[in-house]
């Protein structure tokens, strides 16, 4: 299926990450409890506030590792806002597919920039490694949006992992930062947190290359002359 430009409503969402089923049940339950005053747009704004709190917590960890508690709270707020905005719109049947698609993914890009920049400005991970991880995320975003355009499928997870699993990995890393403290994360000569973030970057870039080859081969077969 090829989706015409601007026809976001026709996109097929593919989400097969490990936590998807349980997360969906939780989100539906939360949607049923939301008062009328809570709107999808307000939840999107709340998600951005959460991303900003993550950024501030990482940067302020240069003063004290205890600021990472703010980062952990920010991740919870960001998950709630980012996951609930579209879920609430679908639950109430008030979707605005093109508007929601554009605003949601635009905010996702800005939120992830704040989060990764915060990690790079912390005393735990060097900025160059953080920026490579951001490049990997942006490459996967490019792949997802291009694939949505040419196949009509918006894939929200790869290798059974999606945004929630990635967020949990970053939360785990942040807890480790809080426990270990800056400057004491080396495994021999290797800085552990740089290695962890670099591994995420390598996985994202590799996924981009592999998935691009898969979709390219699929399109070549469909459009064989």
131-153: pLDDT as tens digits: 999 999 999 989 888 888 888 87
Proportion of the chain above pLDDT 90, given as a percent: 58
Model pTM score: 0.86
User: Which stretch of DSSP H or E encloses residue 187?
Assistant: strand 186-187
Q: How far is the C-alpha of 60 from the C-alpha of 71, rounded, in Å?
A: 10
Distances (CA, A) of 1 to 14, 148, 159, 219, 223: 14, 10, 23, 11, 13
Nearest-angstrom CA–CA distance, 193 and 202? 14
Would you say residue 119 has pLDDT above 60?
Answer: yes
Q: Residue 4's pLDDT is what?
A: 40
What distance in Å separates the CA atoms of residue 121 and residue 55, rounded to the nearest whole number? Answer: 9
Smallest CA-to-CA distance from 13 within 182, 153, 165, 157 is with 153
Q: What is the DSSP letter of 14?
A: E
Q: Checking DSSP bridges between strand 153-155 and strand 186-187, what pairing results, if any? A: unpaired
For the chain, what are the domain ranges?
Answer: 8-222
- In the prediction, which pLDDT does 14 show? 66
Given this model, what pLDDT does residue 108 score?
A: 92
Q: What is the pLDDT of residue 186?
A: 66
pLDDT in tens, 150-189: 888 777 767 666 788 888 999 999 999 999 888 776 666 6
Residue % of the chain over a pLDDT of 70: 87
pLDDT value of position 3? 40
73 has a pLDDT exceeding 80: yes
**Which of the four CATH numbers 2.60.120.260, 1.10.3720.10, 3.40.50.1220, 1.20.120.1760 does domain 8-222 have?**
1.20.120.1760
pLDDT of residue 224: 78
Can you tell me whether residue 13 is helix, strand or coil? strand
- The residue among 149 and 120 whose pLDDT is bigger is 120
Q: Which residues pair with 13 in a beta bridge?
A: 154
Backbone angles phi, psi at 14, to 5 degrees: -115, 115
Instruction: Tell me if 118 sits within 8 A of 57, measured CB to CB.
Output: yes
């Amino acid at each position: 299926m090829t989706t015409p430009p601007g026809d976001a409503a026709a996109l097929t969402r593919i989400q097969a990450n490990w936590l998807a089923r349980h997360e969906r049940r939780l989100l539906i339950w939360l949607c049923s409890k939301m008062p009328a005053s809570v709107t999808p747009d307000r939840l999107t704004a709340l998600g951005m506030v959460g991303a900003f709190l993550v950024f501030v917590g990482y940067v302020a960890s240069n003063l004290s590792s205890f600021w990472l508690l703010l980062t952990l709270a920010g991740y919870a707020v960001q998950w709630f806002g980012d996951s609930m905005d579209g879920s609430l719109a679908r639950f109430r049947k008030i979707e605005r597919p093109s508007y929601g698609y554009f605003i949601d993914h635009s905010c996702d890009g800005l939120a992830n920039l704040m989060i990764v920049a915060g990690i790079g400005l912390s005393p735990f991970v060097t900025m160059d490694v953080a920026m490579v991880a951001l490049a990997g995320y942006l490459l996967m975003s490019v792949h997802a949006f291009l694939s949505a355009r040419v196949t009509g499928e918006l894939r929200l997870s790869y290798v059974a992992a999606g945004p929630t699993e990635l967020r949990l990995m970053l939360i785990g890393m942040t807890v480790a930062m809080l426990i270990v403290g800056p400057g004491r994360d080396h495994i021999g000569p290797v800085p552990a947190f740089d290695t962890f973030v670099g591994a995420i970057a390598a996985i994202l870039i590799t996924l981009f290359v592999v998935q691009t080859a898969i979709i390219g081969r699929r399109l070549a077969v469909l459009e064989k002359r």
